[in-house]
Amino acid sequence: MPFPSPLHPDTGIPNSSALPRRLYPGGKAPMPALRGIPASIPRRPRSVRLNNFGLCIFDTNLEQVPSKIFHGRDLELTQIAQMLIQQCAKIAILGPGGIGKTNLARAALHHPGVAAKYTDRLFVSCESATTSIEIAAVIGAQLGLKPGKNLTKSVLHSLAKKSICLLILDNLETTWEPLDSRSGTEDLLSSLTDIPHLALMVTMRGVEHPAKVRWTRPFLPPLAPLSLEAAQKMFRDIAEDYHDPEDIDQLLKFTDNMPLAVDLMAHLVAFEGCSLVLARLQSEKTSVLSEGADKRSNLDTSIALSLSSPRLTVQTGAMDLLQLLSILPDGLSDVELIQSNLVIPQIRACKSVLIGTSLAYLDNKKRLKSLVPIREYLQCFHPVAPAIVLPLQTYFQSLLGTYKKYQGSNQVTNISFDSTKH
């Protein structure tokens, strides 16, 4: 049975009858599964209310509250603030899920210099939108516009009448990722940037900028994990500072200093203590940090949402390569990637997709790696097939044979891959 329309036929506002089926976990008709990814990936807005007509309105005022615990993003925040103060900039905050894009956007929204320049500031969550028309409906609701089937022109007209305005579109990847809605999303962005006194900021998973927009230079680099010092400060702000520093560092190794994972880990430690959480991690892995209801309080949900990216699911072999990386803490070099004769088609395209979706990255030695929480999740729920590992094992065995032949070492032993031990 098809989903009900996400838009009310007369108003253009998201249809409240569609929400439990389309957006909430546990509905009768969850989202269809993609390449083995769990079907019910929550896409619930952080706060939803009904107006007098029983229609769904997204209350984004709650989204605007900045985090009181905010570490390790001073350079990025300063760069964003300077760009917005100097001009009506067009900025994309990019990076993997759980890396802190939304919190950085909120911090920029409330930066004193930015607040002083932009009297009108709108923070719009696109998390539950599926088309540019739905994005326009949510923006229109914030602007107080009369509901309609397509508010795009009304939104543009209303924003054009304002003096100087900052518009933040959070989680824009929900409409940009699917190819059937990407062009419409980019057309909307292009029309918004035609308004000279409108500053635009978007947050998106991945590292690609949407087309049809002249983004302000220099680009903000995709967000990386926090420094160890920043992660430690964040942890102690949440879980207090009486815990054993060695235990904290051991816990942080599991998070790879990803802000969402650090936040969830610290809250869990504040309740259960370091020893119990460390013991649970041995058997439960990422599930320890996945007891919340949405992607901001459930690590597995956040990772599963990234794995549902159409860019990943349409590229044959991309998931196989990601699964292989899950058992390789040191990743793969380009030489290893190509010369090991992996049974993965279009291996370079697969690599590009993983980097583009921020499911993998290149370290300072140009080795392709994946963050620890993603690796742990894949090992638990989507382990690599032995047939994918075998060519790489054979390749490394050959290298060891060559080394033994020419170096005469008696210390080199055979390599044996056991994906359950990585």
Which strands form 165-170's sheet, in the order they lie side by side?
Answer: 90-95, 198-205, 165-170, 120-125
Instruction: Provide the pLDDT for residue 420.
Output: 53
Instruction: Provide the pLDDT for residue 57.
Output: 40
What is the rounded distance in angstroms from the CA atom of residue 312 to the CA atom of residue 308?
Answer: 7
**Per-residue tokens: 224:** 């990386």
Per-10-residue mean pLDDT of the chain, 422 residues long, equals 43 40 33 40 40 38 67 97 98 97 96 96 94 97 94 97 96 96 98 97 97 97 97 95 92 97 96 94 92 87 95 96 98 96 96 97 97 96 97 93 73 55 54
Instruction: Provide the pLDDT for residue 13.
Output: 42
Instruction: Provide the pLDDT for residue 357.
Output: 97
* Residue ranges per structural domain of the chain: 1-224, 228-292, 315-407
What is the rounded distance in angstroms from the CA atom of residue 81 to the CA atom of residue 118?
Answer: 11
Instruction: Provide the pLDDT for residue 123.
Output: 96
On whether the pTM is more than 0.85, the answer is: no
**Per-residue tokens: 315:** 């590229």
Instruction: Provide the pLDDT for residue 406.
Output: 79
Judge residue 303's burial from the number of C-beta atoms within 10 Å of its C-beta, 0-12 exposed, 13-18 middle, 19 or more buried: buried
What is the rounded distance in angstroms from the CA atom of residue 309 to the CA atom of residue 374?
Answer: 14
Say if CB 286 and CB 277 are below 8 A apart.
no
Domain 1-224 CATH class label:
alpha beta
Name the phi and psi angles at 210, rounded to 5. Answer: -60, 150
What is the rounded distance in angstroms from the CA atom of residue 384 to the CA atom of residue 392?
Answer: 12
Instruction: Provide the pLDDT for residue 135.
Output: 97
